[in-house]
Chain A
């Protein structure tokens, strides 16, 4: 592998590592704080920017799409920033965090959804 190839690979690897770490954190934050980029009202097929309450008589409001958009956009921005520093891709701690952070996000989300686990 040439130095140029290695540099390109490390740039994309830095992006991917940062993206893998940032997206679960952003998603958990958006879910727990209820920060959607948009709110979708399925019964009337309307969309609002950011958070909006359900409208009386017009069915529920959906925030999940907005959380996913926030996660992807935020993750891409952080990944792009990280790609400016290809050396980050060789950091062992960051490499380990790519699977530790998504794993830890699962019990946090289970806790965040404690409303559903009532007996």
Chain B
């Protein structure tokens, strides 16, 4: 399946390689820019949902409130952490897949102009975002099991560690994505 649908004239002389342009039919119904904008928006919305869920969970493992109590912080952290685990795993994987998909567009249409401008730290931050997303993927099975067995005290450290790491990775990747989008992204 082609990762990157785009119109190309027939007999353009570009070799086909392994790629099969099975996604090209979409461009009969919308412009290329609209297609990528939709993908990017879905990626961003999934990331917002993931960030919210992980932040609630991280607050929960840090504060461990017994009851909801009063006040914003108590209410914010008094969530059933285990109820979020499956949703967080699904959201991480979906956000990752959409991110990996639009990464193709970034590599050609965003990264190259940023390189030409010499914004190397911005590029490095984005590479770091990709690294953190991938390493977070490796934590998901442990995170999920640790939360599904939330009654077992011997998993507390792994539950806390994996949750806080995923929350940290999520915040960094979210902010870096936002910054790169400001440098050259949506609609540029």
Enumerate chain A interface residues (CB-CB to B < 8 A).
9, 12-13, 15-17, 19-20, 22-24, 27, 31, 40-47, 58-60, 62, 64-65, 67-68, 71-72, 75, 79, 90, 95-96, 98-99, 102-103, 105-106, 109-110, 113, 115-118
Contacts and interface: CB of A to CB of B under 8 A. Distances in A.
Interface stretch (B34-42, B70-78, B117-125, B180-188): B117-125
B17 A44 contact: yes
A47 B3 CA distance: 11
A44 B141 contact: no
Interface in B100-130: 100, 103-104, 107-108, 111-112, 120-121, 123-125, 127-128, 130
Nearest to A110: B128
Contact of B15 (A17, A44, A72): A44
Contacts of A106: 132, 135
B142 A109 contact: no
Interface residues of B, number: 45
Contact of B135 (A43, A102, A115, A118): A102
Given A20-B162, A44-B19, A46-B17, A96 B157 contact: yes
Contacts of A99: 157-158, 161-162, 164-165
Given A9-B149, A23-B135, A113-B128, 6 more contacts: A19-B138, A59-B108, A60-B111, A68-B137, A98-B158, A103-B165
B25 to A, nearest CB: 15
A90 B178 CA distance: 41
